[in-house]
Amino acid sequence: MSTKNISYIAIISIVFILLTQSYLVYDYFQTVRFALIRESDAILKEAFRNELNQRNTYVSSMQSDSVPQINDVDSEGGIMDFDMRKTGGDEESILNRLDIMLHVFISKLVPIDINKIDSITNQILKIRNINSDFSIQLVNPKTNEILASSKDYTGSSFLVIPSQLYPLDFEEKEALQLILINPFSEIMKRMALMLLGSIVFSVISLLAFRFLILTLAKQKKLVKFKNEFLSRSEEHTSELQSPYVI
């Protein structure tokens, strides 16, 4: 195989390696991003339940004779009809529906506090070592209209990671959403080991390619020197074998 063909094969191989590395990094980036979205869902749920418990504690501290029982009042002022069998066997689904019931009842006395949820979310993010700006939004799930927001943000959607909508009623009129603003420093931190390994492997591949090119260049010079030496040797041999004319 000629030196030229070996060079072509080496170039194609190094390009393939770099493309493979780029794909693996991108795939891992998406995996980390989706994991951060799932974590955002859990953070929002924890913050909402914490704020809901605080409102529930406040309502419970009020005069008991002035507060109706939670299972006697619905959002329309009548009897609340809720069949637990409709939730299925999912424990988390049952808890979510109970949270909605409690929120609907308590909101008639103490409305939800977006800024309080923002403060609780900030504490949870610090505990989880997530360093990112964020905003808590109250959204209409049907129209995607932002009804309220703890912070104003009008940036590109590419620079944010939104959590799933967390419903606040059974009519789907209101839902909470956690928006992580420009969280790529957090993503890069989680990808540090992967990126380091990818960079090291790519550098090793490039150095190996450089070594191969230098080796091929030296071999090419040696072959050229050998051919020149053999050519000169043949010329001298032919001169020695030629008869001298006196």
SS (H, E, C) 148-200: EECCCCCCCHHHEEECCCEECCCCCCCEEEEEEECCHHHHHHHCHHHHHHHHH
Residue-wise pLDDT for 190-240, tens only, equals 667 777 777 787 788 778 777 877 787 787 787 777 777 777 766 666 655
Alpha helices in the chain (DSSP H): 3-60, 91-107, 114-127, 184-190, 192-241
Q: How far apart are CA 210 and CA 15, in angstroms?
A: 13
Task: Give the chain's length.
Answer: 246
Question: In angstroms, how far apart are the furthest CA atoms of the chain?
Answer: 143
Residue-wise pLDDT for 177-194, tens only, equals 998 887 766 666 666 777
Question: Tokens 């103490």 belong to which residue?
Answer: 110
> Looking at residue 86, what is its pLDDT?
52
Q: 204-233 burial, b for 16+ CB within 10 Å, e for fewer? A: eeeeebeebeeeeeeeeeeeeeeeeeeeee
Q: What pTM was estimated for this model as a whole?
A: 0.65
Q: How far apart are CA 131 and CA 187, in angstroms?
A: 10
3-class SS of residue 133: strand
The closest of 160, 136, 122, 129 to 33, measured between CA atoms, is: 160
> Looking at residue 2, what is its pLDDT?
63
Q: How far apart are CA 95 and CA 110, in angstroms?
A: 21
Question: Tokens 């049907």 belong to which residue?
Answer: 142
Segments in the chain below pLDDT 70? 1-4, 6-7, 63-90, 153-159, 184-191, 233-246
Q: How far apart are CA 67 and CA 55, in angstroms?
A: 13
> Looking at residue 204, what is its pLDDT?
81
